[in-house]
Amino acid sequence: MTTAVTERTAPAPLPAAPVDTPRQRARKEAAALAELRRPVRGATMLAVVAAALGAVAGLVPFIGLAQLATQLLAPPVDGGAVLLTVWLIVAGLGLRGLLLGTALAITHFADVRLQAILRRRITAHLGKLPLGWFSENSSGRVRKVAQNDITELHHLVAHHSVEMTAAIVLPVGGLLYVFSLDWRLGLLAIGTLPFYAAAYAWMMRGYQEKMDQMNTGYARISAAIVEFVSGIAVVKAYGRARRSHAAYRSAADDFGSFYSDWVRPMLTIEAIASMALSAPIVAVLSLGGSIWFVAQGWVTPIEAMTEVLIAMVIPTTVLAMSFGAQARRTAASAALRIVELLETPELPVAAQPKLPEGNRVELDGVRFSYDGTTDVLHDISLVLEPGTITALVGPSGSGKSTLATLVPRFHDVTAGAVRIGGVDVRQIAPDELYRRVGFVLQDVQLLRGTVADNIRLGRPDATDDEILAAARAAQIHDRITKLPGGYTAVIGEEALFSGGEAQRVSIARALLADTPVLVLDEATAFADPESEAAIQDALSTLAAGRTVLVIAHRLTTITGVDRIVVLDGGEIVEQGTHEQLSAADGRYARMWAVHEGGAR
């Protein structure tokens, strides 16, 4: 059976996702942060109250000192009253330390609890995602979210609320007190703030656009580095190192001039702004001003001293707040990444799962698209009978892996259905599906542990004899016995396998799991003639009584299979046995001829 070979079309570009404006993104980030922090909201509020009380207690020494001065400067000195004031000052300091310490302890416990909750949520969610999601999303992204992003939240949950509360309540309380003494003193205490605010506002204008430009610059530099490094062998061989450097150099130079144009004027402004908050300037203004106020008879010298003490605290607060705002921004973008991961659609599970009858696999009018616009499989219909091996062949990108992984439901079909034992895979409970469908894919995952443990993953209760039998059938037993330690050799330490060998270990695992349906992606890059023969033997063993679908990259390993299906451009263009297809003189015969030519 031969159908017309369709023209291979290049995959259409992914539809552009609507890009958020910085403001929309910031809003989403804030919402994500609020949603993630919900489980520890009560604890955070409690800690904020404790921190606020602690900050108020921290005001006692300021007021107490002024009080003390009044008592000492107005004879006769009342020893009892002075002692009481001293005790109040000490108590205020002690209470402040106690309350702030308690607040931080509460938030640290909350942080530990929140991290555990989030890790559990992420793990549970990952367990429900389609397996195909994992091949598209490198483990790097999962790791970033599960480790870094959760850790980024630490500062916010454990420190931010408490420290910000303390940083705000102390100066605001102090300022209110100063205003209560005299409104002119209050104004004097915040006299330098308007300069700082104006300078800061000037520095921050166009901040988001500049940050976007900066990120674009970084991306350009990274791209240039990647390009340079990935082509380094060719570049060196052809003596083009200098020219290749040029792309990187121009990206780096552009970035350098952009950055210095942006930052240089800012440094001057920043210096002026910092001066407005620096201790000497604040002290000079407060002292000068309050001495003049005293001379005018508006305030007493003691009130003036109180103002100076409190005015000196305000700048540290402003600085703490700007650091805090930065920490909050970092945590908010981490929170959004976590929420996005948690919102990745799960694989829908049937409410009333059905049990397949038998292990016949049927693809019925299957269409599939990764991006929702371009089909990479068009109307595929195929039946895999139990006890037979079906091999998929075709050029790279023809859809072999996509088709094969639809059987263990790595993705759901866009149209049509994949059925096992007459039941749509979407109607089969996931556990039942994995009991029935095993798979050995190209990127074999061997876990750190002994060889025996790795094979035993297929069936945790298997006996040693069963493990040996599986390894023999997978043609890997001899190789294992040659390892120092044999089956107890640890993968990655005593046991260093080639790609083909690792694949045979995972075939042994699949054999032990004994699933009636098996999807196998044959390893290619590593297949030396010896492994090839071994894989062929392993394949025949596997097939006995099973429904096997194998993605074949080398035609020689599949000459004996029951049926060969030739895919091209996401369509079946031919199918039959090796003999039938060779005689048909079509697509497969041409591939075979090329292969033979290559072999000679």
Judged by the rule CB under 6 A, the positions of this chain that interact with ligand ADP are 11, 136, 370, 376, 394, 396-402
- 62, 84, 289, 308 from 305: Cα distances, Å: 10, 21, 11, 5
Distance of closest approach, residue 130 Cβ to ligand ADP, in angstroms: 11
Distance of closest approach, residue 384 Cβ to ligand ADP, in angstroms: 17
- 141, 315, 491 from 225: Cα distances, Å: 21, 43, 34
Distance of closest approach, residue 400 Cβ to ligand ADP, in angstroms: 3
Give me 419's structure tokens. Answer: 């059925």
Helices (H) and strands (E) in the chain, counts: 23, 10
Residue the block writes with tokens 């994992």: 134
- Strand (E) or helix (H) holding 379: strand 375-384
- Identify which of residues 135 and 213 has a Cβ nearer to ligand ADP in the complex: 135
CA gap 372, 105 in Å, rounded: 50
- Identify which of residues 137 and 580 has a Cβ nearer to ligand ADP in the complex: 137
Would you call 487 exposed, middle or buried from its count of C-beta atoms within 10 A (0-12, 13-18, 19+)?
buried
- Identify which of residues 386 and 397 has a Cβ nearer to ligand ADP in the complex: 397
* Four-CA torsion 528, 531, 536, 542, nearest 10 degrees: -140
> DSSP string covering 71-101, please?
HHHSSSP-HHHHHHHHHHHHHHHHHHHHHHH
The alpha carbon of residue 28 and the mean position of all alpha carbons in its chain are separated, in whole angstroms, by 17
- Identify which of residues 244 and 402 has a Cβ nearer to ligand ADP in the complex: 402
CB within 8 Å of 560: residues ≥ 6 apart: 536, 540, 578
- Identify which of residues 185 and 406 has a Cβ nearer to ligand ADP in the complex: 406
Distance of closest approach, residue 597 Cβ to ligand ADP, in angstroms: 22
Nearest Cα to Cα of residue 380 among 569, 523, 537 = 569
Distance of closest approach, residue 527 Cβ to ligand ADP, in angstroms: 16
> DSSP string covering 21-54, please?
PHHHHHHHHHHHHHHHHGGGHHHHHHHHHHHHHH
CA gap 189, 192 in Å, rounded: 8
- Identify which of residues 305 and 376 has a Cβ nearer to ligand ADP in the complex: 376
Rg (Cα) of the chain, in Å, rounded? 36
- Identify which of residues 401 and 536 has a Cβ nearer to ligand ADP in the complex: 401
Distance of closest approach, residue 402 Cβ to ligand ADP, in angstroms: 3
CA gap 173, 101 in Å, rounded: 20
- Identify which of residues 403 and 470 has a Cβ nearer to ligand ADP in the complex: 403
- Identify which of residues 244 and 401 has a Cβ nearer to ligand ADP in the complex: 401
Distance of closest approach, residue 236 Cβ to ligand ADP, in angstroms: 30
- Identify which of residues 438 and 570 has a Cβ nearer to ligand ADP in the complex: 570
Helices (H), 297-381: 301-342
- Identify which of residues 136 and 357 has a Cβ nearer to ligand ADP in the complex: 136
Distance of closest approach, residue 44 Cβ to ligand ADP, in angstroms: 40
Backbone torsions φ then ψ of 459, nearest 5 degrees? -155, 100
Distance of closest approach, residue 36 Cβ to ligand ADP, in angstroms: 29
CA gap 286, 192 in Å, rounded: 10
Distance of closest approach, residue 411 Cβ to ligand ADP, in angstroms: 9
Give me 11's structure tokens. Answer: 């995959």
Distance of closest approach, residue 389 Cβ to ligand ADP, in angstroms: 18
- Identify which of residues 45 and 594 has a Cβ nearer to ligand ADP in the complex: 594
Distance of closest approach, residue 137 Cβ to ligand ADP, in angstroms: 9
Distance of closest approach, residue 387 Cβ to ligand ADP, in angstroms: 25
Residue the block writes with tokens 């297809």: 581
Backbone torsions φ then ψ of 573, nearest 5 degrees? -105, -20
- Identify which of residues 180 and 373 has a Cβ nearer to ligand ADP in the complex: 373
CA gap 169, 365 in Å, rounded: 68
- Answer for the pair 87, 9: CB distance below 8 angstroms, yes or no: no
The alpha carbon of residue 398 and the mean position of all alpha carbons in its chain are separated, in whole angstroms, by 31
Distance of closest approach, residue 9 Cβ to ligand ADP, in angstroms: 9
Distance of closest approach, residue 136 Cβ to ligand ADP, in angstroms: 4
- Identify which of residues 235 and 403 has a Cβ nearer to ligand ADP in the complex: 403
CA atoms within 13 A on the CB side of 392: 28
- Answer for the pair 425, 419: CB distance below 8 angstroms, yes or no: yes
- Identify which of residues 12 and 201 has a Cβ nearer to ligand ADP in the complex: 12
Give me 507's structure tokens. Answer: 């075939």
